[in-house]
Amino acid sequence: MTGPKALLGGRLLLPGKIVDDGLLLTRNGNIEYAGPRKKFSESKYEKIDVTDLVVSPGLIDAHTHLGVYAEGTGASGEDGNEMTEPVTPHVRAIDSIDPEDKAFEEARENGITSVMITPGSANVFGGQVCVAKTAGRTADDMVIEPYVGQKTALGENPKRVYGGQKKSPMTRMGISAIFRSTMVDAIHYRDGLKKKSPPARNLKLEALIPVLERKIAVRAHAHRADDILTAVRLVEEFNLKLVIEHGTEAYKVADILAAKKIPVNVGPTSSSRSKIELKDLVRDNAVLCIEAGCQVSLITDHPVMPIQDLRQEASKLVRDFAVDMDVALKTVTINPAKTLGLGKRIGALVKGYDADIAVYNAHPTDPSSVCKMTFINGEVVYSATLN
C-alpha cells in the first residue's frame, strides 16, 4: 500500500464543479477526500503543495495498442494481429503487452494513467481487450481488467488481409456472415454447456459467452457510416452491447447512435486520409457527435498517433471549436471510464475511486498546460521536479 498523501491548495476539477484552494486526500491507493480545504490529521499524511496548480483526474485513452506494438522493436514487437484466420476471439491483449514499452513512460509524463489495450483489426473477431494502468513492473501488475471487450472489425481490413489470400471474407457480406455464424456457434456452445453431456471445451466460443451475456461489449472497428450501421444491425440481431471504435464517419449517423445510446471512441482525428475509409474524415467529427448527444471518448490509437498527443486532441476541441473545457475533459476522463465499464472506479476525483491524479500548471485542455505530477493508485509515478 502507498502512504497517505494530502494535496494542498490546488484547483480541483471535480464532477460538475471546480474547487479552488482545495484538499485531496489519498489512502491505500484510493481517494479518501476531494473538496474544499478542511482540518485533517496532518501528521498522518505526506503533504504535497499544489498551490496555483490544477488537479485533474488521470487521463484515459480508450483505444490504444500500447505494449502490443512496442515502439522501437520493429517486427519483433508487432504482436497485435493474429492474422492466421478471421475468427480469433480467444487471443488476449494481456498476453502480448511489453511493460517496458517506452510509450507507457510518455503516457505518465502527460498525466495519462489508464489505457485500453486492444488487439488489431485484421480479423472479424480479433480478441480480448484489456484495461491497464500506465505504471507497473509486469503486465499483470498493470492490467486492472483483463477482458472489457471483444474486438471486431468491419470494412477494409479483414477484406484486405483475407481477400488477398483468396479466403473468406473477401467482401463486407462475408464479414457479416462470419460474424453471424460465429455468434450462432457461440449460442449453441453456451446452451450445450447446460446439458448432461456438454461439448468439449472450445476456447474460441467460450470467449464469446460474456459477449452473449452482455457482460462486455463488442468493440467494433468501423470507419465508414455503412460499416457503423452494419455493426449496429449485427449487435441488435443478437442483443449485444456495442462500442464504435474510430467512427470516422460517425458524424453522418450521430443522431442514430445517440438515439440508441451507443458510445463512440472517436479518432485519431488528426491523422491524414491515408486510406480509402478515411476519405470523408472531418476534424469536427467529435464535436458533431457530442452535439448530437453521443457519449464521445477521444483516442490516439497509439502508435498511429503517439499516446502523448491525447491531451492535444482534447485541447483542439477547445481551441478550434470553442467546446467548453470541462466538456472536452470528459472525453478523456469520465466518458472513457464509462465506456470501459469502469465509471465507478476511474475517471473522476471522487471518494473511493482509484487515486489516479494528474497535476498541471493550467487546465489540462489548455494547449499551453504542462503536466507537473502524475499519481497512480496514490503513488507518484512522474514528477517534473524529479525528472
- Which contiguous run of DSSP H or E holds residue 160? helix 156-163
Quick one: pLDDT band at residue 171, thresholds 50, 70, 90?
A: very high
Average pLDDT of the residues of the chain: 96
Look at residue 169 and tell me whether its pLDDT is greater than 90. yes
Q: Does domain 59-345 have CATH number 1.20.120.1200?
A: no
The grid coordinates listed for 283 are 476534424
Query: Residue 296: exposed, middle, or buried by beta-carbon count in 10 A (0-12, 13-18, 19+)?
Result: buried
Look at residue 71 and tell me whether its pLDDT is greater than 90. no
Look at residue 77 and tell me whether its pLDDT is greater than 90. no
Residue pair 178/87 in contact by the 8 Å Cβ criterion: yes
The pLDDT tens digits for 91-150 are: 999 999 999 999 999 999 999 999 999 999 999 999 999 999 999 999 999 999 999 999
Cα angle for residues 131, 84, 157 (degrees, 5° grid)? 70
- The pLDDT value recorded for residue 274 is 85
Spell out the residues 6+ positions from residue 238 whose beta carbon is closer than 8 angstroms to its own.
Answer: 183, 187, 212
Cα angle for residues 315, 69, 251 (degrees, 5° grid)? 40
| Cα separation, 172 vs 180, whole angstroms | 12
Spell out the residues 6+ positions from residue 137 whose beta carbon is closer than 8 angstroms to its own.
Answer: 99
Nearest residue to 117 (alpha-carbon basis) of 103, 211, 385, 192: 103
Q: What is the pTM of this model?
A: 0.97
The pLDDT tens digits for 287-304 are: 999 999 999 999 999 999
11-14/17-19 β-pairing: antiparallel
The pLDDT tens digits for 329-365 are: 999 999 999 999 999 999 999 999 999 999 999 999 9
Neighbours of 111 (CB within 10 A): 29
Domain ranges of the chain: 59-345
Nearest residue to 12 (alpha-carbon basis) of 38, 37, 35: 35
Look at residue 1 and tell me whether its pLDDT is greater than 60. no
- Greater confidence, 275 or 242? 242
- The pLDDT value recorded for residue 385 is 76
Quick one: pLDDT band at residue 275, thresholds 50, 70, 90?
A: confident
- The pLDDT value recorded for residue 76 is 84
Quick one: pLDDT band at residue 386, thresholds 50, 70, 90?
A: low
